[in-house]
Amino acid sequence: MIIIYDIGSVDMSVKFIINDYILVWNLLYNKSITSNLERLKDKVQNNYKKQYDNIYKEKEAILKDGKNFIPNNDTIYNLFFEENDFKILKRNCEKQRVKFVKLWDKYNKNISRVVRTIIRKNLSNYTCFIVNEEFSIRECKKYFEKEGVILLGDNCENINSLLIDIFYQILLEEVVIEKDNYLDIKKVIVEMAILDELATQLNENSCYKKGNHQLFYLKKQIYPYWLMYLGISKEDMVKYMERDKITFDIEKIFYNKELASMDIDEFIEYIIKNKKQIIKIDRLTL
């Protein structure tokens, strides 16, 4: 049995935009898309080396405030803006933007509902910068307390995989812990929330054996407490162990029903606080 907690909406506002400056930035520092743009990139590297090096540092400023961004020197940007291949690329990005807006409107409500039952916390609003799909970019960064940015260049052939990965990167940004030496615990629990549980519910088959294999030893230790957090009763744990192919001795684990009333931040804090009792190397059987 899974207990469902209604904590209000975690539906986040995502605004999909095209920004000329971030398009040029990616053309300068990622792979070339056309031969004409490759020649133009070679030209600016040879003839405007100082400006080329300086533009590399402007990525964060563009993403923080793309609407009001003003470059220190717009020479290179203008060279790209005037290039016909750039105009074609921008039109293609606009088609992608429209596609993403439609996909988000179609799938976001259902996925956000599932995320709500798992993390029990509100998420920030995000601005999504669309770049050419050939860059294969999925990046997320939270620069402000209630706002973040997504940099996305993807053909979205598998919409579930794309949205799961975006939510995963968003939650990594949203969950903050005080000490960096517990980052692995944070990563494992965020992975269990999104790459494992969200993916399992959306795909209707277990995804718990996927993810970062180097951190599986931690996942195996935290997994019993994760089931408690999800509201799985002690009687139903065997069913979930069989589903996820992760086993443990139920009788050796103290069942803490209070975990089911926590949000994901509180759960991570609980695991860190009780790490000596939960994470025991001598109990591992990988």
Among residues of the chain, what percentage have pLDDT more than 90? 68
Classify residue 4: in a domain, yes or no.
no
Classify residue 211: in a domain, yes or no.
yes
Closest CA to 81 of 25, 130, 150, 153: 25
Tell me what pLDDT residue 12 has. Answer: 75
Number of domains making up the chain: 2
Classify residue 154: in a domain, yes or no.
yes
Tell whether 150 and 220 lie within a shared domain.
no
Neighbours of 96 (CB within 10 A): 21
How many H-runs (helices) and E-runs (strands) does the chain carry?
13, 4
Does the global pTM surpass 0.75? yes
pLDDT band at 205 (very low <50, low <70, confident <90, very high): very high
What is the distance between the alpha carbons of residues 95 and 112, in angstroms, rounded to a whole number? 25
Tell whether 23 and 128 lie within a shared domain.
yes
Q: For residues 212-234, give the mean pLDDT.
A: 94
Query: 171 φ, ψ to 5°?
Result: -70, -35
Boundary of a domain, candidates 129, 159, 189: 159
Tell whether 226 and 93 lie within a shared domain.
no
Tell me what pLDDT residue 11 has. Answer: 59
How does 183-214 read in b/e, with b if 16+ C-beta sit within 10 Å? Answer: eebbbbbbbbbbbbbbbbbbeeebbbeebeee
Q: For residues 151-168, give the mean pLDDT.
A: 86
Task: Tell me the per-residue pLDDT of 59-71, one tens digit each, with 9 for 90 and over.
Answer: 999 999 999 999 9
CA–chain centroid gap for 259, Å, is 25
Tell whether 149 and 37 lie within a shared domain.
yes
Tell me what pLDDT residue 3 has. Answer: 32
Classify residue 164: in a domain, yes or no.
no
Tell whether 25 and 139 lie within a shared domain.
yes
Query: 128 φ, ψ to 5°?
Result: -105, 115
Classify residue 1: in a domain, yes or no.
no
Boundary of a domain, candidates 112, 130, 159: 159
Tell whether 83 and 189 lie within a shared domain.
no
Tell whether 71 and 181 lie within a shared domain.
no
Tell me what pLDDT residue 180 has. Answer: 75
Task: Tell me the per-residue pLDDT of 1-46, one tens digit each, with 9 for 90 and over.
Answer: 333 333 334 457 899 999 999 999 999 999 888 999 999 999 999 9
Tell whether 149 and 123 lie within a shared domain.
yes
Query: Which is it for the CA torsion 216, 178, 263, 267, positive or negative?
Result: positive
Classify residue 2: in a domain, yes or no.
no
Q: Is the pLDDT of residue 285 over 60?
A: no
Task: Tell me the per-residue pLDDT of 161-172, one tens digit each, with 9 for 90 and over.
Answer: 888 989 999 999
Boundary of a domain, candidates 131, 159, 187: 159
Rg (CA), the chain: 22
Tell whether 32 and 109 lie within a shared domain.
yes
**Which residue range forms the structural domain that includes residue 79?**
14-159
Residue type, 156: C
Tell me what pLDDT residue 213 has. Answer: 87
Classify residue 257: in a domain, yes or no.
yes
Tell whether 152 and 84 lie within a shared domain.
yes
Tell whether 113 and 247 lie within a shared domain.
no
Classify residue 185: in a domain, yes or no.
yes
Tell me what pLDDT residue 281 has. Answer: 53
Query: 64 φ, ψ to 5°?
Result: -70, -35
Tell me what pLDDT residue 170 has. Answer: 92
Tell whether 141 and 188 lie within a shared domain.
no
Closest CA to 149 of 9, 17, 10: 17
Among residues of the chain, what percentage have pLDDT more than 70? 94
